[in-house]
Amino acid sequence: MFSEKFVIAIDGPAGSGKSTTASAVARKLDIVHLDTGAMYRALTLLAIEKGIATDNNSALGKIAQNMVFAFKRDGSSQQISVDSRNVTSDIRSEKVTSLVAKYCQSPSVREAMVAKQRDVAKDASVVLEGRDIGTVVFPDAKFKFFITASIEERAKRRMADFKKMGRDVTLDELMKEIADRDREDSTRAVSPLRKASDAVEIDTTGLTPEQQADKIVKIVKQGQFRSV
């Protein structure tokens, strides 16, 4: 569809709708989708299973370097495998979710993951979503977006996901959890969550994932047609 390769960087806080949006954008533009949060979650899963502490930078770095990821589109969702093991549901466990913010701060882990993320874009157009894509991984990305939504909206979305999984939580608990995670993600020393100065901000409160994706696709198509 396009005559040149390009990167779309999508950053934003937990529960802002990045993954669903990025997945729909990838489908509509027929390009690769990389969920970088899933990569940090997979690292966390392996580290927990191997009993490695959150501050064991060198051991964590070795795991991160040696992990071989495979992402496969599966309708509107994505299957992720590490070293040929399907970890799609294991990386969403409560344990992984509660520890990933600590494991992902290891400088060696970040270095290895950023290298892997850059590799994916060597041969293909790709939409990457995460926290530091437009600021650290691809500061020169052709398209940068920062997705937000109110804490209440994000908690409602998460509650709907939890209901499907049979988990019982209140909206207040989820709002607190999300506010805590925002604080942790944006105040950490290594690659904190922040909007790149040249990113387009999209507030997804009240928008469906299709509407969010359409906004991005429209901007990408306009930008692409200008440069062809």
Q: Which is nearer to ligand DC, 130 or 209 (CB)?
A: 130
Q: What are the φ and ψ backbone dihedral angles of 112, each rounded to 5 degrees?
A: -65, -40
Is 41 near ligand DC (CB under 6 A)?
Answer: yes
Is 192 near ligand DC (CB under 6 A)?
Answer: no
> Which of 28, 32, 37, 81: binder of ligand DC (CB under 6 A)?
37
Binding segment for ligand DC among 2-10, 33-41, 80-88, 143-151 (CB under 6 A)? 33-41
DSSP string, 94-142: HHHHHHHHHHTT-HHHHHHHHHHHHHHHHHS-EEEEESSIIIII-TT-S
Region 62-101 residues binding ligand DC, contact defined as CB under 6 A: 100-101
Binding segment for ligand DC among 31-39, 78-86, 140-148, 200-208 (CB under 6 A)? 31-39
7 bridge partner residues: 126
Is 130 near ligand DC (CB under 6 A)?
Answer: yes
CA 52: distance to chain centroid?
A: 23
Is 215 near ligand DC (CB under 6 A)?
Answer: no
CB 29 within 8 A of CB 37: no
Q: Rounded CA gap, 187 and 111, in Å? A: 19
Q: What are the φ and ψ backbone dihedral angles of 217, each rounded to 5 degrees?
A: -60, -40
Q: Which is nearer to ligand DC, 65 or 221 (CB)?
A: 65
The residues binding ligand DC (CB under 6 A) are 14, 36-38, 40-41, 100-101, 104, 130-132, 185
